[in-house]
Structure 1
């Protein structure tokens, strides 16, 4: 295993003094170490991976140094545009180190949403013309890889990527934990939403812990799973899936259970919801100020007025709540939407939290049967 401190010290020795990225479960120990040991000016967790590439580009243009960008391999999708139309050697030729968590590594068991991403990670880097190595798992070999990486970058002016397997980094626990003023856990908030819902409400939940908790709460209350579309991947897109459904099912209430990191990642979706004004749409944003599903690194959501943004975008109403009583009261109102309810919750999840037993295709089939009623 690689000590996060070793990797950090080696890239710093090579002149990297700026870090940007979206946290990943495979990189959580490295991300946590960077968060604890780099200043806020030199380490930024942006809304999405494309923004991380753009921030790194700006840093290089201003300083001439080689920045580092980290992401899960699913985030390559968000980064492709700036990597090919901005950073590429046929355009501005911007040097940077990419550190990519390899979910869905071929031959390793993983969740369905990671399988194709994992199979295509290395071929996609090859297609984009980005040289890469699978990160070594001992310090001596890694030091050589890092030296070769910076040699390549300085010779070509192009990015170089490290593809990181599961359990490559040694454990490290985040020390900088920003407290959240709240009464509920995320799971308790979702349970409150569930128990305040109508029997024909349609649910769309964001990726990560929220969908897993919704699934287990349905099990707990013997409700079945046909009412829920679990957005197991596609971070940030649950609100638009819910909008597409709400526009077609005007006689049914559609509840989107979103997360703060997901809402920030595709915040433009709020503007479209506000412009379309679906009266049957309730947007519940669970805000714990953290990328909780991938290690707990902070988002900027606790310092952002999400309700104010929603109102400015055209939502009929938008409020922030922190207690189960206030949340329940908001959900039981018979008011036209779109409505946004931001729920401040505590960080963390149960250690024994399970995963859906049905396949995504089975979930889709049951969900479409329910929405057709």
Structure 2
């Protein structure tokens, strides 16, 4: 039976869970809306899934029963703290993992194919107990009772959550009007396209890639699906491989937070041909608009402290276009942080029209064509 969002939080309270942490997934959209409003246990938005495991471990050591919410695409981020912290230190915790791509991945989401299949066998290899929650049963209450036996023996327990097992029935708050107009995602992408010239564009997973595809599809664009937080790393590698070309990476605040150390790597390597555009709207837009937990982060200041040569902030399209022209006319690495509005139509995924293998292949060919090094 599908469990209602509020009923899920009531069950967590009844089983004495005092803290929930994790990285959002649309499968948990309803409960996450309630948690973000302060209902149920305290919610801590983690920057990545491994950090969520560590936060839960610390809360457990402090005497608070904790639950981690995450999607299986980030299961790999959990492996290190799970195997080197949770298991050897015998720290109990419950982890609910959404099973994207299970039993089969949707045609437009090939990035979920492997993790949709391997999580149960990986948990088996680690000797970690796991059960599946589906709309057909067993109930979440029964699974939390089952998890208790593992927790009482100092072990983690994983509940793998199928699509539709938890209702998305929590009403979204009506957002208040912003104090001043701020750019939308599509406006930001349109401005970047207008100023990019012959630069290659790489976009992070989620709605930024959808906007780039729908507003300006090109073989010179690389749309990333999955691998959240790694768009800047891909762009840095490409920029170092082809220093004669310009590269622009379109990133989101949640993705940057997930692997913030990439800024230090880019600052150290200092690719002069890289411009990093960070769209800071304060939410994980593609999973339901949950807050990132990074509203106090000054990304421009962080980038400069990490070694970026230039750092600008923009809160209007006019300012964005001006700073982009400056960034593309000077040596980087440069960052332009755009404060923008969440929401807006998502549009089609690139992979619903062009396979991800083809996206990679045509981007590679666009870089090989007229390679300045080959001409020399």
- TM-score of the aligned structures, taking structure 2 as reference length: 0.92
Q: CA RMSD in A?
A: 1.9
Contact kept in structure 2, 1:259 and 1:287, CA below 8 Å: yes
Paired residue secondary structure (2:114) = helix
Q: 2-side partners of 1:351 and 1:371: how far apart?
A: 28
Alignment of 1:179-190 (within 5 A): 182-190=181-189
Q: 1-side partners of 2:126 and 2:330: how far apart?
A: 49
Task: Determine the structure 2 residue equivalent to 1:210.
Answer: 208
1:136 is displaced (CA, Å) by 3.9
Task: Determine the structure 1 residue equivalent to 2:50.
Answer: 50
- Indicate whether 1:360 and 2:356 are aligned: yes
- Indicate whether 1:3 and 2:4 are aligned: yes
1:140-167 deviations in Å (ceiling 9; x for gaps) = 833222212223322x211111111112
How many residues align? The count is 362
Q: 2-side partners of 1:141 and 1:20: how far apart?
A: 22
Moved more, 235-244 or 224-233: 224-233
1:83 is displaced (CA, Å) by 0.5
Task: Determine the structure 1 residue equivalent to 2:164.
Answer: 167
Alignment of 1:194-233 (within 5 A): 194-199=193-198, 201-218=199-216, 224-233=217-226
Alignment of 1:248-263 (within 5 A): 248-263=241-256
Task: Determine the structure 2 residue equivalent to 1:341.
Answer: 336
Contact kept in structure 2, 1:106 and 1:115, CA below 8 Å: no
Q: 2:286 aligns with which of 258, 280, 293?
A: 293
Q: 1:369 aligns with which of 345, 365, 373?
A: 365
Q: 2-side partners of 1:258 and 1:343: how far apart?
A: 10
1:232-264 deviations in Å (ceiling 9; x for gaps) = 110000001000011111111110101100100
| Stretches of structure 2 lacking an aligned partner (at least 5 in a row) | 370-376
Task: Determine the structure 2 residue equivalent to 1:105.
Answer: 102
Task: Determine the structure 2 residue equivalent to 1:70.
Answer: 69
Q: 1-side partners of 2:132 and 2:16: how far apart?
A: 22
1:341 is displaced (CA, Å) by 0.3
Q: 1-side partners of 2:14 and 2:176: how far apart?
A: 29
Contact kept in structure 2, 1:182 and 1:344, CA below 8 Å: no
| Stretches of structure 1 lacking an aligned partner (at least 5 in a row) | 219-223
1:209 is displaced (CA, Å) by 0.8
